[in-house]
Amino acid sequence: MMSAKRQAPFGRLAVLGLQHVLVMYTGCVTVPLVFGAAAGLDASTIALLINADLLVAGVVTMIQGAGVGRLLGVRMPVMAGAAFTAVTPMILIAGEYGLQAVYGSMLAAGVFGLLVAWPFAKAARFFPPLVSGVVITVVGLALIGVGVNLVVGNDPEASDHAAPSRLAVAAFVVVVILLVARFGRGFVAQTGVLLGLLAGTAVAVPLGLVDLSAARGADWIGLTAPFHFGAPEFPPVAVISMCVVMLVLFAESTADLIAVAELTGKELTTADMARGLAADGLSGVLGGVMNAFIDTIFAQNVGLVSMTRVRSRHVATVAGAILVALGLVPKLGAVVAGLPEPVVGAAALVMFATVAAVGIRTLRKVEFEGTHNLLIVAVSIGVGMAPDVAPDLYSRFPDSVGIVLSSPVTSATLIAFGLNLAFNRNRPAHTADDAAGTPTRPTSTAPAGSTT
Signed CA dihedral, 398, 400, 402, 405: sign only: negative
How large is the average pLDDT for residues 403-425? 83
Beta-strand relationship, 80-82 and 295-297: antiparallel
* pLDDT at 338 exceeding the cut of 80: no
**Residue 448: its pLDDT value, please?**
40
What is the distance, to the nearest Å, from the Cα of residue 402 to the centroid of all Cα atoms in its chain?
22
* pLDDT at 407 exceeding the cut of 70: yes
* pLDDT at 72 exceeding the cut of 50: yes
**Residue 1: its pLDDT value, please?**
43
Which helix (DSSP H) or strand (DSSP E) does residue 42 occupy?
Answer: none
CA nearest 336: which of 58, 1, 36, 40? 58
- pLDDT > 70: percent of the chain: 82
**Residue 280: its pLDDT value, please?**
92
How large is the average pLDDT for residues 272-288? 93
**Residue 438: its pLDDT value, please?**
41
How large is the average pLDDT for residues 216-245? 82
How large is the average pLDDT for residues 377-389? 91
Segment 45-64, tens digit of pLDDT = 777 888 889 999 999 999 99
**406, 393 Cβ separation under 8 angstroms:** yes
* pLDDT at 234 exceeding the cut of 60: yes
* pLDDT at 436 exceeding the cut of 50: no
**250, 280 Cβ separation under 8 angstroms:** yes
CA nearest 315: which of 1, 53, 15, 5? 15
* pLDDT at 163 exceeding the cut of 60: yes
Beta-strand (E) ranges in 27-186?
80-82
Which pLDDT band holds residue 325 (cuts at 50, 70, 90)? confident
Lowest average pLDDT, out of 153-167, 201-215, 231-245, goes to 201-215
* pLDDT at 218 exceeding the cut of 60: yes
Which helix (DSSP H) or strand (DSSP E) does residue 282 occupy?
Answer: helix 270-290
**350, 143 Cβ separation under 8 angstroms:** no
How large is the average pLDDT for residues 237-248? 82
* pLDDT at 191 exceeding the cut of 90: no
pTM: 0.69
Which helix (DSSP H) or strand (DSSP E) does residue 228 occupy?
Answer: none
How large is the average pLDDT for residues 224-253? 84
Contacts 24+ apart (CB under 8 A), 147-153: 147/345, 147/346, 147/347, 147/348, 147/349, 147/350, 147/351, 147/352, 148/345, 148/349, 149/345, 150/26, 150/341, 150/342, 150/344, 150/345, 150/348, 151/341, 151/342, 151/345, 151/346, 151/349, 152/345, 153/341
Cα–Cα distance, 367 to 374 (Å, whole number)? 9
The β-bridge partners of 405 are none
- Between 299 and 75, the more confident residue is 75
Cα–Cα distance, 238 to 231 (Å, whole number)? 15
Q: What is the mean pLDDT of the chain?
A: 79
Cα–Cα distance, 104 to 233 (Å, whole number)? 5
Cα–Cα distance, 103 to 113 (Å, whole number)? 15
* pLDDT at 434 exceeding the cut of 60: no
Lowest average pLDDT, out of 145-154, 277-286, 297-306, goes to 297-306
How large is the average pLDDT for residues 162-181? 89
Which helix (DSSP H) or strand (DSSP E) does residue 68 occupy?
Answer: none
Angle at 99 between CA 97 and CA 103, to 5 degrees: 105
Cα–Cα distance, 434 to 350 (Å, whole number)? 32
